[in-house]
Amino acid sequence: MIESVIDPKERIALDLEEARRRTTDLLAPVDDRRLMAQHNRLMSPLVWDYAHVGVYEELWLVNQLSGTPPMNEGWLHMYDAFENPRATRGDLPLMDRRQVGEYRDEVRRRALEILDKADLTSSNPLLRDGYVYEMVVQHEHQHDETILQALQLLPGGYCPAVPTAPSGRAVTLDMVSVPAGQYPVGSERHSPWDNEGPAHEVELSAYRIDRFPVTNGQFWEFMEDGGYTRRELWSEAGWAWLQTSRVTAPKYWGLEHGEWLSDRFGLLVPVEWDRPVMHVCYHEAEAYARWAGKRLPTEFEWEVAASWDPEAGRTRLYPWGDESPTRERANLDQWLYGPSPVGAYPQGASALGCEQMVGEVWEWTSTDFGGYPGFVAFPYAEYSEVFFGPEHKVLRGASWAARPSVGRVTFRNWDYPIRRQIFAGFRCVIDGEA
């Protein structure tokens, strides 16, 4: 049987539609009052993100490709993330759900008209291989995760029930050895995000890395041993944050009648000790690592453990190989609303033996966010270059809330080390061989 090959432009149109459908579906259960309100200064009003992805699509798929001006110059500024920090977005005269829907429909109509005439073999790097279209799709995918962070904070709850997770298996929470050597990292693919390249080589000393992310149970042992009160476990910056924040557990945890409970989108459920710990900031991760006699990995130690295939002598696109993510390999794509038990995805193991490196939780690394040697910002500096510096730490691995499009091992996330509302956890390393 001869398989049909889908036309690249038809594939782009389908991907654009699927991204929009996911965003719309995520917001559908939220009534208009809660959609418009800003419930926490850490996050935008949900309707701001809904409109922002439309403005981004108009900017890149209509204005940039056709040279036409924006439909509404004011919206271009109102939904600009740099002109309007999150804390102020609730004070803006935002479009409502109906207005956003009508605006996005018109943007899509114009974008598809331009796509129909576009030359995807052009020397224009925006058009070549559909680069700018993939950028817009992945941008919306990333905002879907941002929307889920805001939905976790939504008054009145969001989830009617917690989905059933795949079963874990009996595992040993041991470590995987990575020998010293020179390893390739980064990407040369003509893919949307500039900070993943250029590809280059790094020299690493031998180290051991946790086979699995640190679990709730392991983190609870740190808490029980006075982890949040012991000054020697915390960096100067971490201790200063702790004195101000006064936290004593991961975000969304609470102790009721002697039982630890976790708020999952408005549902109070018992903390499940075999799941990766989530909603901890960099400082908490660093303190735990010091308590355990370990440290956090650099981003290259993380990437090599996830990608390097010693038998093939090359890197993999995903820990398990170059095949696209599936539900048998990784907890991605927002279907579970939380992490799975450790040991649930043996098919997703890396060649070196690490598991659940993609999906579950973003994993903090000790690396400050910056450009690789030879980095060139493209197509705009505001995606990553303006965030370079010690103020942001790199996170790797993608969370359960990430779409599969960002599940590749070269993808780099970043955030302030005090952030806890993000779906972040960590794993640890020890220097030297076993």
Residue 418 pLDDT exceeds 60: yes
- Strands in 241-328 per DSSP E: 253-256, 259-264, 267-270, 308-309, 314-315
The pLDDT tens digits of the residues spanning 133-145 come to 999 999 999 999 9
**In the predicted model, what is the mean pLDDT of residues 205-228?**
98
Asked if 133 contacts 16 with a C-beta cutoff of 8 angstroms, the reply is yes
Q: Which of 54, 35, 56 is nearest to 150 (CA)?
A: 35
* For range 420-429, the mean pLDDT: 98
pLDDT at 141: 97
The C-alpha atoms of residue 147 and residue 336 are separated, in whole angstroms, by: 16
Average pLDDT over residues 52-78: 97
pTM: 0.96
CB 46, CB 147: distance < 8 Å: yes
Q: Can the peptide bond before residue 155 be classed as cis, meaning omega within 30 degrees of 0?
A: no
Residue 3, pLDDT above cutoff 60: no
pLDDT tens-place string over residues 8-38: 999 999 999 999 999 999 999 999 999 999 9
**Dihedral class, residue 375 (left if φ above 0, else alpha if ψ from -120 to 50, else beta):** beta
Count other Cβ atoms within 10 Å, centred on residue 164.
Answer: 7
**DSSP tag of 246:** -
- Token pair recorded at residue 18: 């699927």
Over residues 232-247, the pLDDT tens digits come to 999 999 999 999 999 9
pLDDT average, residue stretch 52-57: 98
Give mean pLDDT, residues 373-383: 94
- Compute φ and ψ for 231, nearest 5 degrees: -55, -35
What CA–CA distance (Å, rounded) separates 250 from 217?
Answer: 12
Token look-up 């043996």 returns: 346
Sign of CA dihedral 281, 284, 290, 294: negative
The yes-or-no verdict on residue 205 having pLDDT over 80 is yes
In whole numbers, what is the pLDDT of the chain averaged over residues?
96
Is CATH 1.20.120 correct for 8-152? yes
Asked if pLDDT for residue 1 goes beyond 80, the answer is: no
- The packing angle between helices 282-291 and 236-245, to 10°, is 120
Percentage with pLDDT > 90 across the chain: 96
Q: Does position 69 have pLDDT exceeding 80, yes or no?
A: yes
* Tokens describing residue 237: 């910056």
Identify the pLDDT of residue 43.
96
**Domain limits of the chain?**
8-152, 162-434
What is the third-level CATH fold of 162-434?
paralog of FGE (formylglycine-generating enzyme) (3.90.1580)
% pLDDT > 70, the chain: 99
